[in-house]
Amino acid sequence: MQAALEITARYCGRELEQYGQCVAAKPESWQRDCHHLKMSIAQCTSAHPIIRQIRQACLEPFKAFEECLRQNEAAVGNCAEHVRRFLQCAEQVQPTHRPSTLEAHPLPAS
């Protein structure tokens, strides 16, 4: 959970901040009143290219981390090494560079 939050905060920080502020401001009704902001976080994480790359490239370390959490529900601290491996993998993922239209088709010199 912490690993996912770190990555979400890095790439969807604005959405996460707005949701956090809403939850803090509406302690009685945050589940209802802040639902749209929760959905904006989900939309950001599913649409962000680097997060999609991380999900693909780091699938194995993430699965191992989730399995560790399942096996250590009462002692999630036992999964610190799994979190470290996942974050290390995520740090190594580089955004794929797609050439822009200008790079693919340079304008002729005048």
Average pLDDT (24-40) is: 93
- Cα separation of 23 and 45, whole Å? 19
Task: Give the pLDDT band (50/70/90) at residue 104.
Answer: very low
CATH number at 4-93:
1.10.287.2900
- Cα separation of 12 and 38, whole Å? 11
pLDDT of residue 100: 45
Average pLDDT (47-58) is: 88
Task: Give the pLDDT band (50/70/90) at residue 61.
Answer: very high
102 pLDDT exceeds 50?
no
The model's pTM = 0.58
106 pLDDT exceeds 70?
no
pLDDT of residue 18: 95
- Cα separation of 79 and 76, whole Å? 6
